[in-house]
Amino acid sequence: MNNLQERIAQIDWSHVTQQLHDHGHALVPQLLHNTETSELVDFYHQPQHFRKKIIMERYRFGLGEYQYFQYPLPAILQNIRENVYTHLAPVANTWMKVLQIPQQYPATLQQLHEQCTAAGQDLPAVLILKYGIGGHNTLHQDLYGDVYFPLQVVLFLNEDYEGGEFVLTQQTPRAQSKVTVLSPRCGDMLIFTTNFKPVKSVKGYYRAHMKHGVSEVRSGQRYALGIIFHDAKT
């Protein structure tokens, strides 16, 4: 566990920051060990950890299901959420600044959550997703209320499936969307923008809106764990 905190501290955060500025996403390979990814998959079958289950097709979100954790989060997730946040707050603050959005994010997750609570958002947006054959997640953004943090994380919990690529689209004003397709390995952590990234142009920076989703799983079962830093209203 401490060891995981050290692994997070040892990530090359200046490289991650540069990737986020350039591409709106950054892959951190092999953050989690197999014992940790299988512990996280096992949580899915322990209902006491969860506050809500969503059957995706009922909402036309795709095909599959996910469950939102309830507080208190398992220590491993609290640890990742808190420690990764502190490295991402400066990236988010740079983005707001260059885009001239009057918003700055506090240095700690606890302070962000005080802002969420004041806005009536006090439930964790941390979830495990499970997809079977044909499972997919349609393109979306994870905004859960007025207070939002513009970066989020997915942890990939297995790799014994085919298809199920992680897809990001970047929309440029007056142009078609650019697509990035990733096939991360079990234990990888992906950091990506929740709604937009700044892009430099001759006239300064503009917002390129981004969405994410998952392509169809062709065989096997796919598990992923999403960490959204702001809290949700429902």
Ligand X SMILES: O=C(O)CCC(=O)C(=O)O
Would you tell me which residues interact with Fe ion (CB under 5 A)? 142
Residue number with CB closer to ligand X (83 or 141): 141
Residue bearing tokens 């397709």: 181
Distance of closest approach, residue 186 Cβ to ligand X, in angstroms:
12
Question: HSE on the CB side for 160, CA within 13 Å?
Answer: 3
Q: Min. distance of Cβ 226 from Fe ion in angstroms? A: 6
Q: Which of 102, 93, 95 is nearest to 197 (CA)?
A: 95
Amino acid identity at 27 = L
Q: Which does 129 bind (CB under 5 to 8 A by kind): ligand X, Fe ion, none?
A: ligand X
Min separation Cβ 202 and ligand X, Å: 34
The answer to whether 88 touches 191, Cβ cutoff 8 Å, is: yes
Question: With CB cut-offs between 5 and 8 Å by kind, which of ligand X, Fe ion, none does residue 166 bind?
Answer: ligand X
197 binds, among ligand X, Fe ion, none (CB under 5 to 8 A by kind): none
Closer to ligand X by Cβ: residue 112 or 214: 214
Given the complex with Fe ion, which of 13 and 66 has the nearer CB atom? 66
Alpha helices in 155-200 (DSSP H): none
**Closer residue to Fe ion (CB): 142 or 165:** 142
Positions in the binding site for ligand X (CB under 6 A): 129, 137, 142, 154, 166, 212, 214, 224, 226
* Closer by beta carbon to ligand X, 97 or else 169: 169
Identify what 136 binds: ligand X, Fe ion, none; CB under 5 to 8 Å per kind. none
Q: How many CA atoms lie within 13 A of 165 on its CB side?
A: 9
Q: How far is the CB of 102 from ligand X (least distance, A)?
A: 27
Between 13 and 56, CB nearer to Fe ion: 56
Q: CA 31, CA 49: separation in Å to the nearest integer? A: 23
As measured in angstroms, the least distance from the Cβ of 55 to Fe ion is 16
Residue 142 C-beta: closest distance to Fe ion, Å: 4
Angle 81-139-158 (CA atoms, 0-180°, nearest 5)?
Answer: 50
Instruction: Pick one of Fe ion, ligand X, none as the site partner of residue 224 (Cβ within 5 to 8 A by kind).
Output: ligand X
Residue in the structure block whose two tokens are 């802002």 = 115
The span from the CA of 66 to the CA of 79, in Å, is 21
Residue among 170, 172, 191 nearest 15 (CA): 191
Contact 29, 101 (CB under 8 A): no
